[in-house]
Structures are given as structure tokens and as C-alpha cells.
Structure 1
Amino acid sequence: MGQFDGKVVYITGIARGQGRNHALRFAREGASIIGLDIAGPVADHTTYPPATPDDLAETARLVEEAGGKILARQGDVRDLAFQQQLVADGVEQFGGLDVVVVNAGVLTWGLSWEMSEEQFTDVIDVNLVGAWKTLRATLPSMIEAKNGGSVVIVSSVAGLKAMPVQASYSASKYGLTGLAQVVAKEVAPYRIRVNSIHPYAVNTPMGVADSSALEVFSTERFTRFFPSMMDYNPVAEPDEVSDAILYLCSDAAKSLTGVQLPIDMGHSKV
């Protein structure tokens, strides 16, 4: 028996990293998964390796190997019609929708006055507008079903404490923090809870294989902005983030909504 037996979970950005880990963890707890990932380059200004169609196929294989059911498609969170169709097909296949994890995101680096227009608008479009489109595609089904549910929006510690050289990323993540607050208030009458989580560094390709991040973190004039309280634990594992998401979506957190949960080694308090 799993704590999410019979539940249906929609997750964006599932090809690898945090999204894959969330899908696997929910599947092991009995949930069916509806997921998407662009599984390819998002923009030419990102400096970490993109996910691939093979990564997405591997996520599906791993979920099924764990005994779970999954409907996974390659697509862009910026495409509202694509998401609406995926939700409709997933609800038809699995019988409902109970949990939404707004996970997909991108990151770019640059000084505010040197960024290209694309570096700013692409990140806002994927991280913030894409998140709204995810909610626009999923919430009507949850509301109509009248079964309640849970939404977790993956913001960032950069949505609580602004980071240098991350104007578009921090702006998008602060936007997600506000979006989560608005939606939590709007859907509370439907017994749907909405919370945001705020990771710092996570051991994923986006988190530890970004050449620009490594350069910024070693730049002397910026290093004072990046310390945490836990030098002995500088990078979280994906399971630590999944632990928080599964908790927020479980009955153990039935009194929690509108919460901003940091998973940041104390960084936001330094």
C-alpha cells in the first residue's frame, strides 16, 4: 500500500533531474503519472546540457519498472493547447487528477544591463508564464471533480532572496511565489491546497553542470551573496526535494496551504 494509491499526478519537466525523481517517488507510492518535458534545447543562452528524448523515454521506463503507470509526452509548457490536451487525455486514461507539480524551469546568467532580450524573456516565459499555463490547464479538471487536491509550485531560494547575475531567473521565481499565494486563496473553497518550495543548489544537470554558474560562484565580488549555513552540505539531493513535495501533497500536510517551504541549507536566512 502506498500513500498515493489511486491518485493521479501531473508533473512538468520530467525527463531528468528533479522532475524524474518526483515522478518515480510518486509512482512508488501508487500514483499514476501524467508528465511532459520539452526534452531538447530551450534557448541558445543556457549553459548546461539540455534534456533529450532519450531522457524522457528513460523516465517512462523507470516509472513502469517501479510498477507505475505513466502518460509522458514531449512538449513545451509554453504551449497551453498542448497541456490542455495532455490533461484531457490523462484524465480520460487514469480517471482524474489529484496532484500538480509545477516543476519545469530554465536558468540563464548575466548582469542585468548586459543580458540579451532573449535571456530575460525566455526565462520569464518558461518559468512564470509556463507555470500559469500549467495551472490554467490543470485546475479546471480538479475543480470540476470536487475531490480537492494539492498543487506544489517549484520556485527557488531565488524567489525568496534575490541572486546577483540572475535578473530573469530571480524575477521569474519571485513571480512564482506570488502566483502560488494568489492561487492558494482562489482555490481554497474547492479544497485544493497550493504551496511553493524553494530549493537552493540541487544535484541535477541544471544544478551542478552549468558552466556559467561555476564561473559566477567563483567570482570574488559575488561570493558574499551565495553562502549558506551548511557548508558541510552544499548541494541537496533530488530525494530531499521530493521528500518535501510528497509531504506537502500528503494528508500529513492537510492543514498547510500558502506555505513557502525553503530547502536551502539556511541560505535565505544568511
Structure 2
Amino acid sequence: MNTQNQPDPQVALITGAGTGIGFEICRLLASRRVYVMLNDLDPLLTEKATQTINASHPGFCKGCPGDAGDTGFISQMVRETVKAFGSLDLVVANAGITLFGEFLSYKEADFHKVMQLNLAGSFFLAQQASRQMIAQKRGGSLLFMSSVTGHQAHKNLAAYGMSKAALEMLAKTLVLELSPFKINVNAVAPGATITERTAQEASYSETWSRITPMGRPARPQDIAEAVAFLLSPQARHITGQSLVIDGGWTATSPSPYT
């Protein structure tokens, strides 16, 4: 029981957070005294990320490894979060997969893999989390991880771009059903971002520094700060919106392939 008339601590669930943007969101929230359930498909990566955050913010992070595109696991993950921390207030559906391929030869199996994680995983995580938030009767915040590829055409990413555009429409549509319960729902659309994965790509930083108006690709911290704001009480009247974070790239949209 809160005996000092202080707000109850908030609890967040972040998927796909072993590295990159998801990890930085977890780290930033924990630094602001939000309890975090960190999910990643890789158990070892989940454990390592959790230990790293707890080294600086002891007790604020727990791990829940598993497939964020599996609806059965999603239900389990929500239950484990509530069991560990007592509630669920903030959710970031960050887990996603990018499978490049030409449209004319794109494999059906790859299409379904992208849609299962990027769309079904996000949809049913939001559904399960919303049910928990409604039961708690104190509102909450949902956030979907879109992409600039949901706004501008990008070569060999038809399926991925389609999935990201759909998430922004989902955020808008859920306003109708979740606003009566004081649950706001938004999306962010990162542009090129330097992560452990993209740092391995030859000339990635050089190319995107050249074609991004602000002169560099994003860092995970750039995305995490925006996400933290949209999850905060200060942003509770912002809902159904999509925020592009790309250093101005979509304003000019030069191709990285030229």
C-alpha cells in the first residue's frame, strides 16, 4: 500500500528488447524508476540485457524470453509481468523482423513470418495488455514501433513497409475502443538508426549521414527519449498519433541505393 501519498510505480513491458532501440527504451525507463519486463527471443540475450540494466538500477528489470509473435506466449508474458511487479501500465510492441526481398519473388513463408511478428504480435499484445489495464481501472499507454518504410517506399521492403503502415492505422483505430478506459495508443516511426545490427552493415553510417538532413542516422537514445515521453503522464492526451523520428529523411527521401 502506498502510505506516503505518492503515485504508484509504473510497470512497463517491452518486447524485442535484448539490444538496440528496445534495450535503450528499457534502460531509460528503468533510470526513471519504471519497473520493466524485458522480452527478447534469445534467452541468453534477455538475461544479459536484464543484468546490464539491473547493474545500474537494481531490481527495476526482469526478463521474459520468448517469441513475441506467439499469441500463447503473449498471454503468458502479460501474466508474468503482473505477477512480478503487481500491474501493467505501459507497453511497447517493439519486436519485429525485417526480411528483404523483391516483390515478384517474395516467398509466402517470409511474408507470413513478417506479418505474424510485426502485426499479429503487436495486435494481440495490445489486446492482452489492454484487458489487464481495464481490469486495473487506472488507464495506461500502448506504443507501436512503426518505421519510415511505412511512409516512404523502400526497395525490397514491400511486406515490411506494409506491416509498419498497418501498425500506424491500428494506433489510430484503437482510439475508438480504448479511450473510454483512459488508455492512449500511439506509434513512433524511426528512420535509419545505428544499432548492433546496422553497425555491421558496410557504409551504413556513412550513407545515412550523407542523405539525412540532420547529418547523421538516429541513435537508439533518440528513439527512446521520444517513446518515454509518449508513455509519460505528460502525454496522456496524445493518442492515435504517429511520430516520425528520422532526422528529416522523409521530408526529402533520397534513396540510399543511389
TM-score for both structures, normalised by structure 2: 0.87
Corresponding residue for 2:185?
194
Is 1:100 aligned to residue 82 of structure 2?
no
Counterpart among 150, 155, 164 of residue 146 in structure 2: 155
Superposition deviation, residue 249 in structure 1? 1.0
Q: Distance in 2 between matches of 1:38 and 1:92?
A: 20
Preserved contact between residue 37 and residue 75 of structure 1 (Cα < 8 Å): yes
Aligned residues with identical type, % of pairs: 30
Is 1:249 aligned to residue 240 of structure 2?
no
Superposition deviation, residue 61 in structure 1? 0.3
Q: How does 1:184-263 map to 2 (within 5 A)?
A: 184-210=175-201, 227-230=211-214, 232-233=215-216, 235-263=217-245
Q: Distance in 1 between matches of 2:127 and 2:41?
A: 18
Superposition deviation, residue 17 in structure 1? 0.9
Q: Distance in 1 between matches of 2:192 and 2:84?
A: 36
TM-score for both structures, normalised by structure 1: 0.84
Counterpart among 53, 70, 81 of residue 90 in structure 1: 81
Q: Deviations for 1:150-174, whole angstroms, at most 9, x for unmatched residues?
A: 1111100111223121011101101
Structure 1 vs Structure 2 CA RMSD: 2.3
Q: Distance in 2 between matches of 1:228 and 1:247?
A: 24
Superposition deviation, residue 252 in structure 1? 2.1
Q: Deviations for 1:115-152, whole angstroms, at most 9, x for unmatched residues?
A: 22222221111111111121122110011111111111
Corresponding residue for 2:29?
26
Q: Structure 1 pair 8/121, CA: closer, same or farther in 2 (3 Å)?
A: same
The alignment covers a number of residue pairs equal to 244
Preserved contact between residue 199 and residue 262 of structure 1 (Cα < 8 Å): yes
Is 1:55 aligned to residue 45 of structure 2?
yes
Preserved contact between residue 184 and residue 195 of structure 1 (Cα < 8 Å): no
Q: Deviations for 1:224-270, whole angstroms, at most 9, x for unmatched residues?
A: xx94433x21x111010000001111122222111110101112222
Higher mean alpha-carbon deviation, 88-97 vs 62-71, is at 62-71
